[in-house]
Amino acid sequence: MSDTSRRRATLASTAAVRATIPPRGLAATDPDDPRAVGKRERAAFALGDIASNLTWTTISSYLLFFYTDVALMSAAVAGVVILIARVLDAFFDPAVGVLLDRTTTRWGRARPYLLFGAPLLGVLTFLTFLTPGGGDDFPTIAYAAATFVLVGLAYSAVNVPYGALMAMTTRDSGMRMKLAGLRSFGVGIGIIIVSTFTQPLIAAIGGSTTSKTGFAVTIGIYAAVGVLLLWLVFAWVKERVPATPVTHERGTFARSLRSLAGNRPWIAVFVFSVLAFARLGVVTGGAVYFAIYALGNPGAIPIVLLAFSLSAVVGSLLTAPILRLLGQRRAIILGLALSIVLTYAMYLVHTDLIAFSIVFFIANILGGFGFVAAPALIADTVEWQEARSGRRDEGLLFAGYSMSTKIGAAIGTALLAWGLALIGYDPAHVTAATADGVLWLFLLLPAGISVLQILAIAGYTLERRLPEVAAAVRARRAESAGE
């Protein structure tokens, strides 16, 4: 063999060895083995959702109240600002997803977005709760719209990669459902923090529940903690599932969109998630008005929100075994149906805060099965996407899911705001008729949305086909590796 041939052989051998070494931050473990995901890594998925909800739940629960009672905007104008800003921002999610599917760095594909996006999200969350406070004048509305759009863009840049990280961590459907449960547990803890500490902190720092200074300092604390938690996710989570080759040919994105449009399981979960987050927006945003005006007791705000957050924590522990026992679609539909029935019970006991909170807690556990399961269901649709098209498109599919959460939250908050406008809500003059209207908005809007959720999830049929889909994906990869 000549020296040139020998050098070429050595270079080829070295390249082959290097190709087997994962980039920094990636694990050389089997993505099909659930044991590969360690305890610290599982815990990171709970921490990530605590961080997300220090932004998301704070905005969902308090931004409309902040606009109407601190910035002094009318409910109708606030509803329009939130709806338009949220929908515009939602269409940024697919761009993040496409960029994510084309990202390759020494830290992996999704993790760099957590490292660099977290500080930006923290700063913009803080700025969203500052205001000129001039009511319906142009500077107040313009500032509110601009900051709300920007914080939504930053949230997309962090949350789309964070959501896709589950599909990149493991291919095992059972482990994904466990991780989804841990994510929901983190959601519950985040809601508990927001519901328990926000109003007391605002009042303690600023002297009243509508203090601008109190809002600014409290949100600043939440933002800083959120950044630190997202950095822990970056440090602890590993990306194991290899990416499908990304092509940059003309028309590749259009083909991915066409393939996505044909992914019926994904569409069913997308529509369901839009409705789930619309219901979430009504419940978390309406709780403040319900406590203050329907119950006449501002001190009930943390109790009602705590009942809701505890339902998320308990639901995160119960969802996986219940769905495994009854089947995913059947359990979700049954839970929603029972939560609708309990709406009448909530009305009967709404004047008794303790009794109401207990029934409210149970209803939200039952109605929240699908909320807990949705990220895992989306991760399963990634396998369906690869089986049909040869491309995983995790970024695009989870961008669609993130988009659904924003559109849903926008719809829910806007419906609540317009409902308040319809009943003549004026924080300076709340009548008995207005208080009754708040009660009916808080009870009937979520129940109506739950009916639509049942219709949406009825179209999800992937569960029984998933084993054969996963086998087809493994066979295709093995065939490609042997070529």
**Residue ranges, the chain, pLDDT below 70:** 1-34, 133, 243-257, 259-260, 480-483
Q: Which residues contact 341 (CB under 8 A, 6 or more apart)?
A: none
CA distance 476 to 245: 13
Q: Which residues on neighbouring strands pair with residue 239, listed in sequence order?
A: 26
pLDDT for 20 equals: 36
pLDDT for 250 equals: 46
pLDDT for 462 equals: 84
How many CB atoms are closer than 10 A to CB 78?
27
One-character DSSP codes across 23-68:
PTTB--S-TT-GGGS-HHHHHHHHHHHHHHHHHHHHHHHHHHHIII
Query: Taking Cα atoms as reference points, which of 26, 77, 10, 106 lies closest to residue 420?
Result: 77
Query: Taking Cα atoms as reference points, which of 180, 322, 326, 169 lies closest to residue 242?
Result: 169
Q: Which two tokens stand for residue 138?
A: 């142009």
Q: What does each C-alpha distance from 383 to 324, 343, 386 come to in angstroms?
A: 19, 37, 5
CA atoms within 13 A on the CB side of 303: 16
pLDDT for 8 equals: 47
**CB 400 within 8 Å of CB 270:** yes
pLDDT for 30 equals: 63
pLDDT for 398 equals: 78
Query: Taking Cα atoms as reference points, which of 456, 455, 451, 442 lies closest to residue 412?
Result: 442
CA atoms within 13 A on the CB side of 141: 14
SS3 239: strand
pLDDT for 349 equals: 94
pLDDT for 16 equals: 38
Give pLDDT tens digits for 409-443.
888 988 998 898 888 888 778 788 888 999 999 99
pLDDT for 256 equals: 65
